[in-house]
Every structure is written in C-alpha cells, then in structure tokens.
Amino acid sequence: MAHPAATVKFLAGLDDDLYLNVLAQLREVWTYNSTAIEGNTLTLAETHLVLADGLTVKGKPLKDHNEVLGHARGIDILFTLLDRNLAADDLFSLHRAMQTDVATDIMRPNGAWKREPNGSWNVDSAGNRVFIEYATPEDVAQLMEAWLAAVNDANPAAPVDELLDAYARLQAGFTAVHPFWDGNGRIARLVCNVPLLKGGHPS
C-alpha cells in the first residue's frame, strides 16, 4: 500500500510503520462496514484475510471477495484526490476500480454515467409499495456537475459539525441522482468524506 502521508492529515506525525498499520486497519474497517451495508457476507476478520493476506474464504462467494478488493482500491484512489478539486473523471476512476464485474452490457458501463433509468422500491406511510425513480440519465451530467461543485466548495477548515452536515447533504444529493448503474452507495460513502479528510478528520 502506498504511503500518502501528505494527504491523510489525521495520521500526520506517525512514524512510517505505525502510519501504514493504522492506515491498513482503517482501510479494512471502512471496507467491511461499507460492503456489509450492501449485503456482503465477509466478516471483519475475513475482510482482513482478503486484504492483508490475499486469501479467499471457503464457502463465501467470489463476488463478496471481489467487492471487498474493489472497495479497498477505491479508498487508495480517494487518498490521492485530497490535494485538488474533484472532477467527474475522478468519480469514473472510482467506479471502474470498485466495479469488479466485466462490463458486457453497453447500457451498464463501468466508469461512465448511467445510460438507463434506475430507481428503488419503497413502502409509503399507507403500507403501499411505491417505485421511486432517480434522476434521468440525460440530467445526470448537469446534476453531478453541481454536486461536484458542492464538494469542492465545502470548507475543510469549518467546524467538524458543519463538515458532518456537509457529508449528510452530499450523501443525500449523490444518492438522489444515483449517477451510476451500480455502486452508488459505496462510492457516495467514500467521496462524501472528502471535506472531512481534507480538514484532517478521520472518515
């Protein structure tokens, strides 16, 4: 793993061995929590085995192993983006790194905005199932340009409670657009941390 000492401010001052150890633990816990939300079946200990030792866990799906590896790659990329403003190409790089399935459907590209509408089923207050559609594909580029401006305009020197509010707003905005055909939650949970990380706070 690289040593992005200049960008991970909250680890500044640690010697190299300790720095890399803490960074590896952060990477494992962050990956475990984010992928578990998506239904990944690997435990934290198993996530460690996959990331630290390159092992596979008997009886666990290959998809879950690949998802963990992809998320960890996303974290590595994220740490390289903290010294400049984010751009759409950065989000595309994260999406390519985190999507572990080979893209075989041109309507479901890796590293590009979605090309088909997407949405999710929910239950309303009366108990009825309702389909909520996210932003249409033709609106995504403009909406994400505004979202990226909000990320880049966030003041990393602001008090931590303001940065947490910014995280919540950015998360809600990203997921409302749902700009990719898959992986939106995992990418949002990474990139919404950028203002906090730039401000020297743990993610």
User: Count of CB atoms within 10 A of residue 28's CB?
Assistant: 21
34-72 pLDDT, tens digit per residue, is 999 999 999 999 999 999 999 999 999 999 999 999 999
Query: Is the domain of 122 the same as that of 75?
Result: no
Domain count, the chain: 2
Query: Is the domain of 120 the same as that of 170?
Result: yes
Q: Determine, yes or no, domain membership for 87.
A: no
Question: Please, which residues have CB within 8 angstroms of residue 147's CB and are 6 or more apart in sequence?
Answer: 170, 173, 174, 177
**Average pLDDT, rounded, for the chain:** 92
- Rounded to two decimals, what is the model's pTM? 0.89
CB of 190 closer than 8 Å to CB of 81: no
Closest Cα partner for 47 from 37, 59, 39, 33? 33
Q: Determine, yes or no, domain membership for 98.
A: no
Q: Looking at per-residue confidence, does 5 or 84 come out higher?
A: 84
Which pLDDT score, from 0 to 100, does residue 55 have? 92
Q: Determine, yes or no, domain membership for 93.
A: no
Q: Determine, yes or no, domain membership for 193.
A: yes
Question: At CA 168, angle to CA 142 and CA 64, rounded to 5?
Answer: 85
User: Count of CB atoms within 10 A of residue 15's CB?
Assistant: 8
Domain boundaries, position 62? 1-80
Query: Is the domain of 130 the same as that of 180?
Result: yes
Q: Determine, yes or no, domain membership for 90.
A: no
Query: Is the domain of 195 the same as that of 136?
Result: yes
Rounded CA-CA distance 174/143 in Å is 9
Q: How is residue 75 written in tokens?
A: 């974290």
Query: Is the domain of 65 the same as that of 10?
Result: yes
Long-range interactions of 71-75: CB distance < 8 A, separation 24+: 71/30, 71/31, 71/34, 71/35, 71/98, 71/186, 72/27, 72/28, 72/31, 73/97, 73/98, 74/98, 74/186, 74/187, 74/190, 75/27, 75/30, 75/31, 75/190
Mean pLDDT of the 145-158 span: 97
For residue 81, report the phi and psi dihedrals to the nearest 5 degrees: -100, 5
Q: Determine, yes or no, domain membership for 42.
A: yes
